[in-house]
Amino acid sequence: MIRPVIAGNWKMNKTVAEAVDFAVRLRTAYSTPPDREVIIAPPFTALQAVADTIRGSFILLAAQNLHEEEKGAYTGEISGKMLREAGCNCVIIGHSERRTLFTESDDRINRKLRAALTAGLRPIFCIGESLRQREEGETEAVIEHQLKEGLNNLTANDIESCVVAYEPVWAIGTGKTASPEQAEKVHRFIREWIVRRYGPKNGAELAILYGGSVTPKNIAELMAQPDINGALVGGASLDVDSFIQLVGC
């Protein structure tokens, strides 16, 4: 059975003090660890302080991005090795905002995935279609292309360390959410593709998260679907009480 994953992507929000306060409140909200993986992704500036705050707890730490090279003349960038040293366990790669606002290509996302794995980080690999692509019936073609190119040259052993997050671009930060049935259809397509490419074991054990205006009001219905194993949450993860509700769904 796949252990559910609830991950909060804070994007460009929270000062160091705000991030630490959130982490303290989240850590102390449970007398025993929840029966799911809980991941938070603060901005780079807060990673070390949050890592110190959650050390020894059930909470895992993710970065929101990384550079594909280990070191070099890349002003403003962060390597996987640096993230590991800062206390990160995971890293978000290929988020739609990186693809659209920063024009990250499938090839670069693939290189980032391989860099994350080399650094010992668990990638949360994001894929998803735009509204135009969905309306033109291209969803599965887009998802297959992103999977094929993003996971290029990854082995079955590599896939064991990955999480996939399906985030329909048209539902991110818009208040729109794919219906549970729409989301499940894409999640099932992703799982079947992984089975064909990497074998039944990897397909059966891969955690596939849904992201796109997830809230405490809709998460239970989404996660009731057989191939939805958790959520990558944006806006609703910024409020600690809301995030605690999401974790407890």
Residue 167 among the catalytic residues: yes
Catalytic one of 68, 97, 167, 184: 167
Residue 67 among the catalytic residues: no
Output Rg (C-alpha) for the chain, integer angstroms: 17
Catalytic one of 68, 95, 97, 129: 95
Active site residues: 95, 167
